[in-house]
Structure 1
Amino acid sequence: MLGVSRREFLLGTAGAGAAFLGGGLIARQANAANFTLPITSLDHTLLPETVTRNMMGFGAGGPPPVLRMKQGKPFVVDVINNLKEPTSVHWHGLRLSNAMDGVPYLTQMPIEAGETFRYTITAPDAGTFWYHPHCNTLEQMARGMTGILVVEDQEDPGFDQDIPLNIRDFRLGGDGQFIDFYKPRLAARGGTLGTVSTVNWKTDETHDLPAGSLVRLRLAVTDVTRVGTYDLTGFDTGKGAAQLIALDSNPLPAPQAPENILLAPGQRADIALRVPDTEGQEVLLTLQTAKGPRLLAKFRSVGTSLNRDLKELRPLTPNPVPEADLANAEVLEFVFGWSPGGDAPKPSFCGTLGYTFWSINRVAWEGDSPDPVDPLAVMKQGKSYILRLRNETQNDHPIHLHGLSFRLLRSNKRELPPLVTDTALLQSKETMDVALVADNPGNWAFHCHVIEHQKTGLTGYLRVEA
């Protein structure tokens, strides 16, 4: 268990993070944030001619803002909690300082109603990331608190436009109002799907783009449940057409066709699109469903063609993620399965669903509290590890590790590409080996990103000790 001294430390650092620094105009200017991010309740139109009430969002109103920062440059965000409940912000996929990771009690105290917390972030990696709460996680995310974060490459790849696509469902009834965010019997299985699919909080997302231009599409699946397969169709076949160039913020070894892109909650995909030359031609982003493709977004060419070619783009630079020494790596095993007992989780300042269905290594997360369970494993800083991830259930589990990136090695069910990622989709009965270097000290949350699974036991953390 974590001791009192750690709680006192967290209380102290949380207070320091929450405080605005003053001392005169010069001091205030010197300590100004790059971005102020209020968290508010709001009403917003998601379905035509209907206002959905009691949403939660980042920013001044409407869809959460896209945050942009430069690779390797410090970025300061002041988060202002205007809700009537506690919250926090996690920066999904970033390898950042542990104190800035946004996990209540593990890295900071919750941001209480009316408080401000300052996050100072330096991202070593470029790519597409996102941000969301880690307190009262299911309800706050389900009501709208998911936004995209872009870390721009140090060297401009040469796109004409950059379009983030926040892909997520909402659970709405026919009147456009929220219905129950989950059903217990589904939480104990694959999870409870949303009823309305949106991109950037729209059901009819459409972009008019200069014909023949080069556009970077940044897909981020910020949904709480849905594992889906996505396709881009309708583009011309000449001059490079369209290519999948990155997954989970990391460049692919070689571009791929933008089809059958399997993405789970938390995962991202970057597509380089050459907009068609013909004015009015539409490129479609769709989700595969049992009833056929579901249209998510349109990209329509307008004007005279710029006549660009994908070959003009600079290749994305690989992120500086250290390569594990596989010959000397220690193997750590993790079993993702059902809970061995049915005990209710502890009451939590950050909310609980009231059920315990899942576990990691037969230990169910007891709930967010000042004294969480012991770490699932302790790793030595700088040492290489192979994490053996075994899914003993029939359900998919996108397993996300905070603060560290890992490389996919092998699976007992399928051939894996040699991708670097922070979120690995474990399919039914799949065992997967991934490799990492424990290069970032701290306590790092390790959990399923189907939020119902996370909040009903399928959570833990790994400790990296200096």
Structure 2
Amino acid sequence: EPPLLQRGGINMQSGRFDKVNRRSFLKASVAGCTSMLAPALSMAQSDDGFFELTAEKGRARLYGKDGGLSDLWLYNGRLPGPDIRVTRGQRVRVRFINKLDEPTSVHWHGIRIDNAMDGVAGLTQPAVKPGERFDYDFVVPDAGTYWYHAHTMSWNQVPRGLAAPLIVEENEPTFDPALDITMMLNDWRLDDNGVLETGSFGARHDFSHAGRLGNWLTINGASMPQIPLQQGRWHRLRLINSSASRVLDIAPSRFGARVMALDGQSFDAPRDIAGTVRLSPAQRMDLVMRPEETGDIAFETMTGKPFTFATFKVGAATATERSLSMPPANTLPEPDLETARILPLDMAGGAMGGMRGMMTGRTEDDLRKMMQDGLFWAFNGKAGMEETPMFTAARGETIVLESRNDTAFAHAIHLHGHHFRVLERNGEKLENPDWRDTFTTEPDETVKIAFVADNPGKWLIHCHMLGHAASGMMSWFEVG
């Protein structure tokens, strides 16, 4: 089994769970935790300065120590893969080696990266064939919480385990390293033996509905972990939703936390959130938390009924006390709304009557053929990648995308190579037009975003419900 000891002091094992419900979670016995810091770029380094990252088959227990071993695809034999931690402005050199039986590639999600390094097979690079390798070499311009994952047949490869955190630290860290904790959240579809169910990968029902939804939640690859915190000390919790389709509703106020950053971009000051924050697939949320009392604090998802899937164990402080200090904001190009070009992003398709929205210019036979080919979704009436881009932008041009979700399902729309401001929802300007690289849109909702197209190259735009992307909700744009 791969080691489950992750950076941030989380040594996680779990007991048997007979029923997936709140009561069994609370009865679960979990082993104690030790504290450890993994080195930055915790991979083997070659003589020429590259760190080696290998995609390979492996096994791990997803349902506690009494669950069966699942056959997974892993980076360097770990679940999640190696925690890459670098400093803003640092050069990252990774030699990727494919030991799987099918082609793959690595996407560095949220990084404003050079286009040739973006990792999208068929658009920015050829897929890395079995037994071959590819050198990724880029500079990280922005501090924040990011991640990396497979970007070839992502619907199949990511939910098998090919994902890991990518943390870009500020030049002068504002939190004690021992109190800077990464939490990679994921749901899995397990069978009755607690083993990853693989027969339904690529199921058309999943693709045409909400996507591949699991029935079990883990943090850093382990179920029901205990996460050690220190009394009276400021902590930074970096939440990454690496699920294939699962939207997680988090209520920070229920465990005394405030939101300090979204998708890697820090706020001027932490925010108190009265309700929930939707953390869709690929999105990240940084929280700041200072527990005042020792004891246990539940970490829950609020989707449906509150559901505890981890416990914060608050113990005596050992780290030096620091005052709360916010990291400096990244310097991102501000959109010029006066000169912006406004473009549509209309979403159509899917089950529950959504396919009717794709009828324009098509016959019933056309739709039937599309569904037979596994195409259920469309951007602006077009299903899947085409030879021509959705739009072409001059370098430095401000683009406003006015999106409309004419489907029965939520979508998490991700732009590669850029960050954007979310300006409006349903025609109402937002009090905080935050920077994001992935935005969530609900059924019948309109969302307006704006960004400066300043990164040359061919960039993907797609839904990060990975089955939706594979079945039509994916296109690309070009920056000259």
Q: TM-score, normalised by structure 1?
A: 0.84
**Residue 454 in structure 1 maps to residue 475 in structure 2:** no
Tell me which residue corresponds to 1:139: 156
**Residue type of the partner of 1:84?**
D
**Residue 249 in structure 1 maps to residue 268 in structure 2:** no
Out of 329, 342, 345, the residue aligned to residue 367 of structure 2 is 342
Tell me which residue corresponds to 1:295: 308
Alignment of 1:111-190 (within 5 A): 111-159=128-176, 160-179=178-197, 180-181=200-201, 183-190=203-210
Deviation at 1:307, TM superposition (A): 8.4
Tell me which residue corresponds to 1:78: 95
Within 2, Cα distance between the matches of 1:386 and 1:62? 38
> 1:94 aligns to what SS in structure 2?
coil
Deviation at 1:89, TM superposition (A): 0.5
Deviation at 1:212, TM superposition (A): 2.0
Alignment of 1:325-404 (within 5 A): 325-338=336-349, 339-340=358-359, 341-342=366-367, 354-366=373-385, 372-404=386-418
**Residue type of the partner of 1:110?**
A
Tell me which residue corresponds to 1:272: 288
The question of whether the paired residues in 2 share the 8 Å contact of 1:343 and 1:355 is answered with no
Structure 2 vs 1, CA of residues 395 and 62 (structure 1 numbering), >3 Å: closer, same or farther?
closer
Tell me which residue corresponds to 1:194: 214
For 1:6-26, what per-residue CA distance to the aligned partner results, in whole angstroms no more than 9, with x for missing partners? xxxxxxxxxxxxxxxxxxxxx
**Residue type of the partner of 1:342?**
L
For 1:220-242, what per-residue CA distance to the aligned partner results, in whole angstroms no more than 9, with x for missing partners? 0010111121124665xxxxx53
The question of whether the paired residues in 2 share the 8 Å contact of 1:212 and 1:305 is answered with no
Out of 283, 291, 296, the residue aligned to residue 297 of structure 2 is 283
For 1:38-67, what per-residue CA distance to the aligned partner results, in whole angstroms no more than 9, with x for missing partners? 111111111121233321111233431211
Aligned length: 415
Which 10-residue stretch deviates more, 374-383 or 179-188? 179-188
Tell me which residue corresponds to 1:95: 112
**Residue type of the partner of 1:263?**
L
Deviation at 1:353, TM superposition (A): 10
The question of whether the paired residues in 2 share the 8 Å contact of 1:389 and 1:433 is answered with yes
Q: Which ranges of structure 1 fall in alignment gaps of 5 or more residues?
A: 1-27, 236-240, 346-351, 367-371
The question of whether the paired residues in 2 share the 8 Å contact of 1:401 and 1:446 is answered with yes
> 1:77 aligns to what SS in structure 2?
strand
**Residue 407 in structure 1 maps to residue 432 in structure 2:** no
**Residue type of the partner of 2:184?**
N
Within 2, Cα distance between the matches of 1:304 and 1:149? 27
Alignment of 1:419-458 (within 5 A): 419-458=434-473
Deviation at 1:385, TM superposition (A): 1.6
**Residue type of the partner of 1:85?**
E
Which 10-residue stretch deviates more, 218-227 or 353-362? 353-362
The question of whether the paired residues in 2 share the 8 Å contact of 1:343 and 1:356 is answered with no
Within 1, Cα distance between the matches of 2:253 and 2:313? 12
Within 2, Cα distance between the matches of 1:353 and 1:441? 36
Deviation at 1:289, TM superposition (A): 3.1
Structure 2 vs 1, CA of residues 464 and 182 (structure 1 numbering), >3 Å: closer, same or farther?
same
Structure 2 vs 1, CA of residues 326 and 267 (structure 1 numbering), >3 Å: closer, same or farther?
same
> 1:328 aligns to what SS in structure 2?
coil
Alignment of 1:190-229 (within 5 A): 190-229=210-249
Q: Supply the RMSD in Å over aligned alpha carbons.
A: 2.1
The question of whether the paired residues in 1 share the 8 Å contact of 2:244 and 2:466 is answered with yes
Structure 2 vs 1, CA of residues 73 and 344 (structure 1 numbering), >3 Å: closer, same or farther?
farther
The question of whether the paired residues in 1 share the 8 Å contact of 2:270 and 2:288 is answered with no
Tell me which residue corresponds to 1:64: 81
The question of whether the paired residues in 2 share the 8 Å contact of 1:285 and 1:295 is answered with yes
Tell me which residue corresponds to 2:354: none
Within 2, Cα distance between the matches of 1:379 and 1:88? 26
> 1:454 aligns to what SS in structure 2?
helix
**Residue type of the partner of 1:88?**
S
